[in-house]
Every structure is written in structure tokens, then in C-alpha cells.
Amino acid sequence: MNLHAVKAIYAFEMARMWRTAVQSLVAPVLSTSLYFVIFGAAIGSRITEVDGVPYGAFIVPGLIMLSIMTESISNSSFAIYFPRFTGTVFEVLSAPVSYVEVLLGYVGAAATKSMIIGTIIFLTANLFVPIEVAHPFVMVTFLLLTSVAFCLFGFILGVWADGWEKLTIVPILVIMPLTFLGGTFYSISMLPPIWQTISLANPVVYLISGFRWSFYENADVSVVLSLGMTTLFLLVCLLTVRWIFKTGYRLRT
């Protein structure tokens, strides 16, 4: 494996994050803090507990997942789309590096950024509500799997997009609604039976449920099922990316 190539791509992408620290780090933390103020204080004063957990603490895992998913898609999609837009992607494709090394550089950097943002939001949440993590290893596992999976998804989106508008249309019209309807601010057990069944068709439910279990040991679905669904999504994205590099879909034209 050409570790020098991986390191070069990784370092370049990480340097871009520090050059745009306000947009990359400060903005997600500020927006999440507003969620805590609005939902934690305003609504939390009326909904004291959910499944035995104070409402302010209950929404923390969902808010972290919301930020992780949106930032992962944004970081990785822009990382590959901009070289395509400027034409510099051909320099990478013509270099003596495999698609695995290219993927490790781009997706690795994007996942690192997401993990940093998730950690900062977790620390910020402690300023608003007391948080206890029952299973730290499971929490880190879900954070890592979700970051990598959605960075891969963002990479696919960045390759597919043929205009700047398409970089935002999927996160805004698909990912954001699925996240809000996936139990970020509530437990699906609070819904009528028919809507509970419908909610199970939402893949984000499994991500948030499993991640919340690592905090408070209560979940809407089995944590094993949540882990399996997250891993399955990651594998599907990996296979799709492999197909993209194998066929050159929208990379060589």
C-alpha cells in the first residue's frame, strides 16, 4: 500500500478543515447548541422524561447523530466533487495509487472531521445537561461506523452530482427529514402502533436507537439489529464505491 499517497490526500483534506474552522467546526456546534436551548429548555420544561431519562439528556444521542450524518455527507461529497469540478481529480486517477488508497485518504479525513465534531458536541452537551455513557465502547463503535458509512455515502453523492445544487438536495430533502422522523427528539414508542411500524422502515431509526442504547440502555429496537443495519449500510456503500472506481463512473469523463 502506498502510505505516502494516503498521507498526502489525508493531510490535504485535514488542512482544508483547519483553514475553514469556523464553517467546519464552530457552525455545527452553534447550531446544535440552539437545539439544546430550544428543545431542551422550551420543550423539556413540558416533557420531563422519556423512558425514564430527562428529556434534555434523551435528545443528546440524536443530536450527535444528526450532526455526524450531515457533516459526514457534506465533508466527503465536497472533497471529491471539488476536484471533479476543477479537473484536478485526473491527477489523482493518473497517479500510481489504487482506489483503496484514494478512498482511505478522502474518506479517512472526512470521517476524522466528523468524529472531531461529534466529540466537541458531546462535550458541549455536558454544559447543558448531565450525561452518563453506560457503554463507551459501543458508543465509539456506533460513532465510527456511522461516520465512515455516511462519508462513503457522501463520496458517492459527490461523484454522482453534476452541479452544486445536487450536493445539497439529498441531505436537505432526504437525510434531514429521515433524521427528524427517526427518533432524534422522541421515542417511536410514543407513536401510535401504525406509525411505529412505518418508522421501522426508516434506516436512521436503527442508528439513533443503537447509539442511544449505549448511553441509557434503552432503545426502540434491538442494539444488535441496529449494529447489523449500520454495518449493512456501510457494506452497500463500499460495494458501490468499488463499482464506481472499477467502471470510472463520472470520474473519467
Q: For residue 153, is pLDDT > 90?
A: yes
63 closest CA partner among 124, 110, 113, 108: 124
| 80 in Cβ contact with 16 (< 8 Å) | no
Percent pLDDT > 90 in the chain is 36
Indicate the average pLDDT of the chain: 86
Q: For residue 20, is pLDDT > 80?
A: no
pLDDT for residue 17: 76
Q: For residue 1, is pLDDT > 80?
A: no
Q: What are the distances in angstroms from CA 12 to CA 129, 154, 241?
A: 36, 18, 21
Average pLDDT over residues 217-245: 93
The residue that leads in pLDDT, 21 or 217, is: 217
Rounded distance, CA 183 to CA 196, Å?
A: 11
114 closest CA partner among 153, 65, 78, 155: 65
pLDDT for residue 10: 92
pLDDT for residue 194: 92
Q: How far, rounded to the nearest angstrom, does the alpha carbon of residue 10 sit from its chain's CA centroid? A: 18
Average pLDDT over residues 61-69: 90
The secondary structure of residue 228, as a DSSP letter, is H
213 closest CA partner among 130, 118, 135: 135
pLDDT for residue 253: 65
Of the pLDDT bands very low, low, confident and very high (cuts 50, 70, 90), residue 229 is very high
Q: For residue 60, is pLDDT > 70?
A: yes
pLDDT for residue 40: 63
Of the pLDDT bands very low, low, confident and very high (cuts 50, 70, 90), residue 15 is confident
The secondary structure of residue 129, as a DSSP letter, is S
Q: For residue 61, is pLDDT > 70?
A: yes
Looking at the whole model, is its pTM more than 0.75? yes
251 closest CA partner among 75, 113, 106, 68: 106
Rounded distance, CA 36 to CA 56, Å?
A: 7
| 170 in Cβ contact with 155 (< 8 Å) | no
